[in-house]
Structure 1
Amino acid sequence: MANTTLWNLVADLKSPKYKWVDLTHELSPETPHWYGFKPLQQDLLFDYADGTPKDKLAPMRCYQYSVASQYGTHVDAPIHFHADGRSLSNIEVNELVFPLVIIDKSAECAANPDFILTVDDIKDWEKNYGKIPEGAFVAFRSDWHKKANLDNPDENGIPHYPGWDVKAIKWLVEERNIGAIGHEPADTDPGFITTREGAYPYPGEQYILSVDRFQIEVMRNLDQLPPTGAIIITAFPRLKHAVGFPARAFAIAPKEE
């Protein structure tokens, strides 16, 4: 008799006991993205609108897309910052599912857009929710996905957005052996670091990719999930030599009783 354990698990996860939350921005020319990238471009190659096959091919609609590898909600592979790091095609499928930990600092970020998440913040979180499990995906909730402009520039055009302290990321890797991190802004590091003249560029991002972890940036809807108890599934193309790509990430969490 066939073993249907996994089928039963899927049925259970799709039952009313759980909620599924999309953590991904819709992909379009209007998608929030890093200021250095052009908007996604969509060119129509074939169309079925008039019912006439083009070049004797079947009448169908087909587009060609041009998009930056780190556009919208996306994954950063280690090779993004390190030439000897793994690319997306080297990431195994069993690395795409994690226990999800959410550290909520949205109130602090609302009060201070230059907020930086520290080791003390993580230790305080553990006092309330317990030890972060090994292999976890740790997401920094800032509610930044609600911003019309991720850069949040001031009157002088200087960006202000929150980020990780590199020491906090190191602590998570060295003390908790986490699997990946994620956040809502387009950078790992806060704006006051990435835009500081003469500063070491992107220390947090440099570090997390140097230790063979990937990260998901420009996330959304973390406010719909509990601090603990959910799982996250991350998906992206198995693209050869890819430094990153727009990703689809979603979480499954128990519904509150």
Structure 2
Amino acid sequence: MYYTRSMIVCLTLHALHAVCEHDNGDIIDLTYTFDENTLFFPGHEGFVQEILHRGTYGPLWFESNRIETGEHTGTHMDAPAHLREGQLRIEAVPASHLVGPGVKVDISSKASMDPDAQVEINDIMAWEEENGRIPDGAIVMMFSGWGKFYPNRTAYFGSDRNDSYTDENDVSLLNFPGFSTPAAEWLVENRNIVGVGVDTSSLDFGQSTNFSSHVVFFEQNIFGLENVANLDKMPTTGSTIYALPMKIKDGSGAPVRIIAIVNDDVINGVSATASNYFLTFIAFFIVFVYKILF
């Protein structure tokens, strides 16, 4: 009996030690709340929530709502099919692409002086000089600092119109940062990334009317994340991004919940954080068995 008890104690301590050896990391929510203030690209649809019931229902408390929203409203994922015929629709984006190393390219300094600033090839080169090669399977985020304007439509878009993004001469009314087409081409030709994201409403900068950066990414089935929140809190490197869209059949996009976990190593598709939760469960299970037996 003595050796059995000692063995269980040792197993418990070992499991708890394994949990403590790994930092679960900080979890950063990169998603805006969907509500009456949710922004959407001019010409698209906003978010509407209708309360169907909120109160007692017999002996129970019961809440139920109906929502209506466009696919490309608020924080959302663009499927490659959004602007490229024959490419992946939202339900076909591989689940393995929804988790990847987070890369943040910071152009906030030049964006503060130029609302039409773009991520250029030299910005990517500078990132790699300081942080090393962009890892395979990465999700590359542009940080422009534009989140400080959300949800003020005029400041965020550079226009207060929500019906159209161009004037009568088809000139864009919008001003905000995005990825330049040469930078998009360089990324798809030289690095093995699965997704890109921006803290603005479009992968292309506001003055674009042909959305060429979208097209470059989508031709390679690289998805886009738009209206990404809290990128000021995400580190330049050392995080894992989880971007989980609503799985809509034949969808061109979908609302998405995005989080970044700092110092969350993903090895062979298994998150260190998830492994730690499992180890914690094992430790408590051993303690439970110990109490029953002794």
Same fold (TM over 0.5): yes
2:202 to 187, 190, 207: 187
Q: Indicate conservation of the 8 Å contact 2:29/2:258, yes or no.
A: yes
TM-score normalised according to structure 1 size: 0.83
Q: Indicate conservation of the 8 Å contact 2:74/2:227, yes or no.
A: yes
**Residue number in structure 2 paired with 1:220:** 229
Quick check: 1:79 aligned with 2:81? yes
Q: Judging changes above 3 Å, is the alpha-carbon distance between structure 1 residues 18 and 240 closer, same or farther for their aligned structure 2 residues?
A: same
Give deviations 1:34-65, integer Å, cap 9, x for gaps.
Answer: 122232111233x2525359xxxx87321111
Q: Judging changes above 3 Å, is the alpha-carbon distance between structure 1 residues 217 and 14 closer, same or farther for their aligned structure 2 residues?
A: farther
Give deviations 1:136-190, integer Å, cap 9, x for gaps.
Answer: 1110000111112320239x99321111111101111110121110001111111
| More helix per residue | 2
The aligned amino acid for 1:170 is E
Give, in whole Å, the separation in 2 of the partners of 1:249 and 1:28.
17
The alignment yields a C-alpha RMSD, in angstroms, of 2.6
Equivalent residues in 2 for 1:200-219 (5 A)?
201-219=210-228
Residue ranges of structure 1 left out of the alignment (5+ in a row): 1-6, 195-200
**Residue number in structure 2 paired with 1:152:** 158
TM-score normalised according to structure 2 size: 0.73
Residue ranges of structure 2 left out of the alignment (5+ in a row): 1-14, 161-166, 265-294
Q: Indicate conservation of the 8 Å contact 1:143/1:220, yes or no.
A: no
Give, in whole Å, the separation in 1 of the partners of 2:239 and 2:259.
10
Answer with 1 or 2: which has the greater Rg.
2
**Residue number in structure 2 paired with 1:49:** 55
Q: Indicate conservation of the 8 Å contact 1:235/1:247, yes or no.
A: yes
Give, in whole Å, the separation in 1 of the partners of 2:159 and 2:199.
16
Quick check: 1:26 aligned with 2:33? yes
Q: Judging changes above 3 Å, is the alpha-carbon distance between structure 1 residues 48 and 187 closer, same or farther for their aligned structure 2 residues?
A: closer
Give, in whole Å, the separation in 1 of the partners of 2:228 and 2:119.
17
1:245 to 247, 251, 254: 254
Q: Judging changes above 3 Å, is the alpha-carbon distance between structure 1 residues 219 and 48 closer, same or farther for their aligned structure 2 residues?
A: closer
Spell out structure 1 runs of 4+ moving beyond 6 A. none
**1:239 Cα deviation after fit:** 1.4
Give, in whole Å, the separation in 2 of the partners of 1:13 and 1:230.
18
**Residue number in structure 2 paired with 1:135:** 137
**1:13 Cα deviation after fit:** 10
**1:14 Cα deviation after fit:** 8.9
